[in-house]
Amino acid sequence: MMSHRISALVVAAGSGSRIGGDIPKQYRIVAGKPVLAHAVDALLAHSAIDEIVVVIGDGQGALYAEAIGDRPLPAPVIGGALRRESVANGLAAITGDWVLVHDAARPFLPASVIDRLIKALETAAGAIPVLPVADTLALGGPTLGDVVPRETLVRVQTPQAFHTKLLRDAHAAWDASREASDDAQMVRHARYAVAMVEGSAMLEKITWAEDFGAAERRHAPALVSRTGMGFDVHAFTQGDHLWLGGVKVPHGKALAGHSDADVALHALVDALLGTIGDGDIGSHFPPSDERWRGAASHQFLTHARDLVTQAGGRIDHVDVTIICEAPKIGPHRPAIRARIAELLAISEAQVSVKATTTEKLGFTGRGEGIAAQAVATVRVPEVGL
């Protein structure tokens, strides 16, 4: 079978007017990186794609450079006021005899769709991914018009794949006074056959503001809830203050410990580590390690937070209970709650801080020390467990 040089032409020159916002949608972050970067990375990852050219809007160079970083791409092409003009400008820059034209606004591009499109080009001038229509569709306007039988309709996606020369011919022959929202209609108008292949729900275009949330949900693997519990104790010693929940609390005693002995944060560290099954505070910060002598415990908590994040986790809620006869926790509760929320980069509504005595019973009742319990609820990707 003859081999072909296949170019991908990513059109990213739009202004995203239907979404608005301070930067065009293709440069905004979804699922951890710019929309455009997702699309480009999917094409970079496909072995059949020999060249990727991105078409950007005039003045979008800095946004493009930030989104693409050091990915190995040729210089971008400047697009036009209309999508078809952007495609035409891009066609002048590509070198492949086959081309896939893709909306940057469709970030998630399954390799299986690329496979199907390339296969279809073996026997057709063009090929596009389509999906069936689920809703009843009717002619709109000032009054409801006739229903259009959905069996006669498909939802058209991109990439749209073509023999490059035929697409160039179709653009050249197109009546510039007419709009063309995609390339397939231009190729069909030039009387070339355009095949249809199965599209994908992952290929949905980001068009309106709510589409970003839908895209995040489409991309994020199923998240499952995990709960962890932590417990810690520190004895009192001489001093004039102690640290609780990242807050300095004046008191007639201090708490003894290798670090700053913040018993509340230590319990919370163990609770977070418990949600991802990653040991405990002692395994991460051994009391035998001189680096942690007198250390502020907030760094232990942010480390546990980062481990949860690196595991793809999202902290939903934490609940800390401080157990002691003194000091009184109530006056410090707002500050402790705010500090824990700040350290975990969550809202205060996601942080509960409670306190209790043991009715003079046990070591806490005798004023020998302070205990703390913590529970953390985190959502983590199911695949990772």
Ligand X SMILES: C[C@](O)(CO)[C@H](O)COP(=O)(O)O
Ligand Y SMILES: Nc1ccn([C@@H]2O[C@H](COP(=O)(O)OP(=O)(O)OP(=O)(O)O)[C@@H](O)[C@H]2O)c(=O)n1
Number of residues that bind ligand Y (CB under 6 A): 22
Q: Do 84 and 149 touch, CB atoms closer than 8 A? A: no
Residue 182 interacts with which of ligand Y, ligand X, none, CB < 5 to 8 Å by class = ligand X
**DSSP code, position 142:** S
Say whether 152 counts as a known binding-site residue: no
**Binding status of residue 26 toward ligand Y by CB under 6 A:** yes
Residue whose structure tokens are 């020369």? 165
Site for ligand X in 162-181 (CB under 6 A): 181
**Binding status of residue 83 toward ligand X by CB under 6 A:** yes
- With CB under 6 A as the contact rule, which of the stretches 28-36, 153-161, 306-314, 316-324 interacts with ligand X? 153-161
**Binding status of residue 103 toward ligand X by CB under 6 A:** yes
Say whether 102 counts as a known binding-site residue: no
DSSP 177-232: TS--SSSHHHHHHTT--EEEEE--GGG----STHHHHHHHHHHSPPEEEEEEEEEE
Site for ligand X in 183-242 (CB under 6 A): 205, 207
Q: How far is the CB of 158 from ligand X (least distance, A)?
A: 5
**Binding status of residue 275 toward ligand X by CB under 6 A:** no
d(CA 164, CA 126): 9
Say whether 108 counts as a known binding-site residue: no
- Other CB atoms within 10 A of residue 296 CB: 14
d(CA 76, CA 86): 11
Residue 89 interacts with which of ligand X, ligand Y, none, CB < 5 to 8 Å by class = none
**Binding status of residue 26 toward ligand X by CB under 6 A:** no
Q: Do 8 and 53 touch, CB atoms closer than 8 A? A: yes
Contacting residue, 73, 111, 207, 350, with ligand Y by CB under 6 A: 207
Q: Do 193 and 126 touch, CB atoms closer than 8 A? A: yes
**Binding status of residue 105 toward ligand Y by CB under 6 A:** yes
Bridge partners of 223, per DSSP, are 381
Q: How far is the CB of 89 from ligand Y (least distance, A)?
A: 9
Residue 104 interacts with which of ligand Y, ligand X, none, CB < 5 to 8 Å by class = ligand Y
Cβ distance to ligand Y smaller for residue 89 or 364 = 89
Contact pattern from residue 46 through residue 75 relative to ligand Y, giving x for each residue in contact according to CB under 6 A and a dash for the rest: ---------x--------------------
**Binding status of residue 157 toward ligand Y by CB under 6 A:** no
Say whether 233 counts as a known binding-site residue: yes
- With CB under 6 A as the contact rule, which of the stretches 99-107, 142-150, 220-228, 242-250 interacts with ligand Y? 99-107
Instruction: Read off the amino acid at residue 230.
Output: G
Q: Do 71 and 40 touch, CB atoms closer than 8 A? A: yes
Residue 16 interacts with which of ligand X, ligand Y, none, CB < 5 to 8 Å by class = ligand Y
Straight-line distance from the first to the last Cα atom of the chain, in angstroms, rounded to the nearest whole number = 44
Backbone dihedral angles phi then psi of residue 321, each to the nearest 5 degrees = -120, 125
- For 214-251, letters b (16+ CB in 10 Å) and e give ebeebeeeebeebebebebbbebeeeeebbbbbbebeb
Residue whose structure tokens are 């018009």? 145
Task: Give the DSSP H or E segment for 175.
Answer: none
Say whether 232 counts as a known binding-site residue: yes
d(CA 236, CA 371): 11
Cβ distance to ligand X smaller for residue 90 or 230 = 90
**Binding status of residue 11 toward ligand Y by CB under 6 A:** yes
- With CB under 6 A as the contact rule, which of the stretches 29-37, 43-51, 152-160, 217-225 interacts with ligand X? 152-160
- In the chain, the largest separation of any two C-alpha atoms, in whole Å, equals 91
**Binding status of residue 79 toward ligand Y by CB under 6 A:** yes
The residue ranges that bind ligand X (CB under 6 A) are 83, 103, 156-158, 181-182, 205, 207
The residue ranges that bind ligand Y (CB under 6 A) are 11-18, 24, 26, 55, 79-83, 86, 103-105, 205, 207
Binding-site residues? 232-234, 258-259, 266, 280-282, 356-359, 363, 366
